Amino acid sequence: MINSRYAWFEESLKKIALLASVGGVLAWDQETGMPPDAVGIRSQQAGILSGITHEMRTSQALQDCVEELLNDSSLTPYQSVNVKEFHRTLQKSIRLSKEFVEQLSLTVSAAYPAWYQAKTQNQFDIFAPHLEKIIALKKEEAQLIGYAKHPYDALMDEFEPGFTVDDADRLFTDMKTSLLPFTKRIASQTQPNDDFFRQPFDSFSQKKFGRSLLTAMGYKFSSGRMDHSEHPFCIGLHPSDVRVTYRLNPNDLSEFIWGLMHEGGHALYEQGLQTKYWGTPMGSTVSLAIHESQSRFWENNIGRSAPFWKYWFPVLQNTFPDAFKNSDFQHFYVGINRIAPSLIRIQADELTYHFHILIRYQIEKSIFEGNLSVNQIPTVWNNLYKEYLGLDVPNNTSGVLQDVHWSHGGFGYFPTYSLGSFYAAQFFHALSAQSPIQEWLEQGQLQPITTWLNENIHSKGMELSANELCKKITGESLNFAYFMQYAQQKFNPIFNLS
């Protein structure tokens, strides 16, 4: 018997997802090739669309329907997941008025080009008034949504359901205790030479290599495309339309490969969602940290490992014979695993990276505690880079203006990057215990890895929470020890540490 109330509910969710995916096309276009003069009209287009979507999501009819379905005992398990999860997020959404959502959308659409200009011209002042407005709106949002202990909890919950300041403080304290001394010890060693990156690598060949790599990973170009953008991203509009972007420097290969593998990891998650559930929680990704676990898994656990490059280094040598004629495998492998504090988060190595995140976390937390005004942010930023990474920040372009996230209003987002790496290490440990992954990698077989991720993670949608999923796959909740163990097992031999 068809449950017609449930059917209407699901149809409504799919309509909302359709409109949201249209907004995704606008966002992709804006960051890949929209004419610059169109920025004004684009923010209006995005604004009206998110207004309509919000109205549909929060309509009284849908609210009433969901409330009734919550008590409907005839629902199948997947239907229950969809109803409960939608109800959870709806409770948050209905606290935001259509006007508030439109206002936020207009504000961030105008902020993006200002951030871009500020970054290009090293003028924080150009971005500051936009940032002020965004922070004011996000503070209002935290109050409207509500929280138990800390306003920043309300914002993090949007990206990582249930994750709180208490959790983050515990996690980052743990990290400071074990990872900070380990990283400082490694960073103080003589670092391997990676000058081989700084040579001419023609753009066409880089893209060709990238396409081969993504294809080997199982990314379907018939359901995707790759383009250049200022800040690489992946956007999943539907499992049949998942787009990645890259940065490309014809004189430095390092900017391209790992960024692309990172976005490729995200893209495999989006392409691996079940089409039949599209638009509902069962066809959606669990959380940003789990999303990031997929990208970090490919970028670092796979993409900076010895067995992976055993197969791919010869391919790279064939692609760029001039650049790699004097390079051998070992030289290349240690070169791609330098550990050195640096200014730019997206260029950071896989250990110092997490201190970039810690800095952003501390700043965001202070902002929402009301202890930090916009004009103080650059100074605090620079002080923290000195404290954790020992670096002097020479200008705001390579400091506080480097990331796009704040221009999008994405406060609470950064911590999920570190969580993602920690989940990735734990998943990698589980896969290693269950499969001959070393052999696969040495033979260039990436598809079995994608199949495992697909079966265990991608296809599950939101059937389980991030924590439940982690327990099911690895037998326990997220445990920072796996990341430390991974780091020690990998870097001790590279740096001849005991």
Residues recognised as catalytic: 263
Kindly state whether residue 268 participates in binding a copy of itself, applying the rule CB under 8 A: no
Kindly state whether residue 243 participates in binding a copy of itself, applying the rule CB under 8 A: yes
Least Å distance, CB 446 to a copy of itself, is 21
Indicate the pairing of strand 234-238 with strand 241-246: antiparallel
Kindly state whether residue 61 participates in binding a copy of itself, applying the rule CB under 8 A: no
Count of Cβ atoms closer than 10 Å to residue 149 Cβ: 9
Least Å distance, CB 314 to a copy of itself, is 30
Q: Which is nearer to a copy of itself, 42 or 365 (CB)?
A: 42
Kindly state whether residue 497 participates in binding a copy of itself, applying the rule CB under 8 A: no
* Contact assessment for residue 137 and residue 107, using Cβ atoms and an 8 Å cutoff: yes
Of 76, 120, 240, 492, the residue at the interface with a copy of itself (CB under 8 A) is 240
* Contact assessment for residue 243 and residue 226, using Cβ atoms and an 8 Å cutoff: yes
Least Å distance, CB 278 to a copy of itself, is 8
Largest CA distance in the chain: 70
Of 3, 34, 65, 72, the residue at the interface with a copy of itself (CB under 8 A) is 34
Q: Report the SS3 class of residue 269.
A: helix
* Contact assessment for residue 110 and residue 116, using Cβ atoms and an 8 Å cutoff: no
* Contact assessment for residue 268 and residue 236, using Cβ atoms and an 8 Å cutoff: no
Q: Which is nearer to a copy of itself, 224 or 281 (CB)?
A: 224
Q: Which is nearer to a copy of itself, 44 or 488 (CB)?
A: 44
- Of the candidates 168, 42, 150, 63, the residue with the CA atom closest to the CA atom of residue 106: 42
Of 3, 8, 52, 100, the residue at the interface with a copy of itself (CB under 8 A) is 52
Kindly state whether residue 22 participates in binding a copy of itself, applying the rule CB under 8 A: yes
Of 241, 311, 405, 438, the residue at the interface with a copy of itself (CB under 8 A) is 241
Least Å distance, CB 44 to a copy of itself, is 6
Residues 6+ apart with CB under 8 A from 335: 192, 193, 194, 196, 197
Kindly state whether residue 442 participates in binding a copy of itself, applying the rule CB under 8 A: no
Q: Which is nearer to a copy of itself, 26 or 481 (CB)?
A: 26
Kindly state whether residue 354 participates in binding a copy of itself, applying the rule CB under 8 A: no
Which two structure tokens, joined as six digits, stand for 69?
A: 């379905």
Residues 6+ apart with CB under 8 A from 210: 226, 246, 256, 257, 260
Count of Cβ atoms closer than 10 Å to residue 43 Cβ: 21
Of 1, 2, 4, 36, the residue at the interface with a copy of itself (CB under 8 A) is 36
The Cα–Cα gap between 263 and 225 comes to: 12
Burial class (CB in 10 A: 0-12, 13-18, 19+), 196: middle
Q: Which range, of 36-44, 116-124, 355-363, 437-445, touches a copy of itself by CB under 8 A?
A: 36-44
Kindly state whether residue 54 participates in binding a copy of itself, applying the rule CB under 8 A: no
Kindly state whether residue 225 participates in binding a copy of itself, applying the rule CB under 8 A: yes
Kindly state whether residue 221 participates in binding a copy of itself, applying the rule CB under 8 A: yes
Q: Which is nearer to a copy of itself, 21 or 456 (CB)?
A: 21
Of 7, 48, 70, 497, the residue at the interface with a copy of itself (CB under 8 A) is 48
The Cα–Cα gap between 253 and 147 comes to: 45
Q: Which is nearer to a copy of itself, 12 or 183 (CB)?
A: 12
Task: Give the helix ranges, DSSP H, for 164-305.
Answer: 165-187, 203-217, 257-271, 288-296
How far is C-alpha 143 from the geometric centre of its chain's CA atoms? 26
Question: Between the CA of residue 269 and those of 211, 266, 428, what are the distances in Å?
Answer: 18, 5, 16
Of 238, 304, 429, 458, the residue at the interface with a copy of itself (CB under 8 A) is 238
Kindly state whether residue 344 participates in binding a copy of itself, applying the rule CB under 8 A: no
Which residues contact a copy of itself by CB under 8 A? 15, 18-19, 21-22, 25-26, 29, 33-38, 40-42, 44-45, 48-49, 52, 220-225, 237-238, 240-243
